[in-house]
Amino acid sequence: MFSGSFTAVVTPLKNNKVDFDAYKRIIDMQIKAGITGIIPCGSTGESATLSHSEHDEVIAKAVEFSSGKLKVIAGTGSNSTAEAIRLSKHAQEVGCDGVLLVAPYYNKPTQKGLYLHYKEVANAINIPVVLYNIQGRSAVNIEPKTIAQLAKDCKNIVAVKEASGSLDQMSQIRLLAPEMDLISGDDALTVPIMAIGGTGVISVLSNICPKVVADLVNAMLKKDLDKANEIAFKWLPLVKAMFIETNPIPVKAAMAMMGICSDEMRLPMCSLSDEHKESLRKTLKSYNLI
């Protein structure tokens, strides 16, 4: 169901408010580059520091600005099941194509708790659900057996964004739940994940290089491994540069250098260090992006 290149789109800020003019420009960039879809209000979209009203508006504007030309999978995860349900119902009401639900963070649920959480959210809506597995941010790993059970019991749980970094775990998911779309949550692992049956990537890099990511994913979907590897290796230094500090600090800094939007963030996130700014500027120049 979810195959292709998806951008985990930033939320541009100006004077501590969402800059919807810049947001529209960013989404227009994605459309022109041939990106399949966008994910508003994910980790890259700084959902943790958006108010509930801002969260709702950012998602609604994503649907409006996409004009049916991009799939919109809204980040609606929470460590409160009730809150995740409210956010997901809103995403459904405004016309999103699906929701992305990060594993509940901080409270560290058991696998049973994870299963019950996702089942309750999925049963509360009719649109597709993408699980989001990123233990580094959520403190818990959604085990392959749990994912497979959810896919079996909840027909609208159709995909998983895998950012565990473990190809072994991803292979287990493919084995136990072959009907699910396996989506890379790591730009650097798009080729190997798609090589074992993955269907695409939810990318940070595509905020600044959407066509590069679209071309890479399209090459893998066409099983042109040589072309995909050529693209992946060429752009790997820039992929690495996007994570020299916590995401989305570097990508917002790059977007500011490229004149796309401000690098403004909300505390506790802060701007890129001066040392890393110089390094990032050199990397962007080497790709003729600035």
Q: Which residues are catalytic?
A: 132, 161
CA of residue 193 relative to chain centroid, distance? 15
- Report residue 78 as tokens: 């929470």
Query: d(Cα 227, Cα 205) in Å, to the nearest integer?
Result: 18
Cα–Cα distance, 164 to 131 (Å, whole number): 12
Alpha-carbon distance of 26 to 105, in angstroms, equals 29
Strand residue runs (E) in the chain: 4-7, 13-14, 17-18, 37-38, 71-75, 98-102, 129-133, 157-162, 181-184, 200-203
Q: State how far the Cα of 207 lies from the Cα of 284, in Å rounded to an integer.
A: 13
- Number of neighbouring beta carbons within 10 Å of residue 270: 12
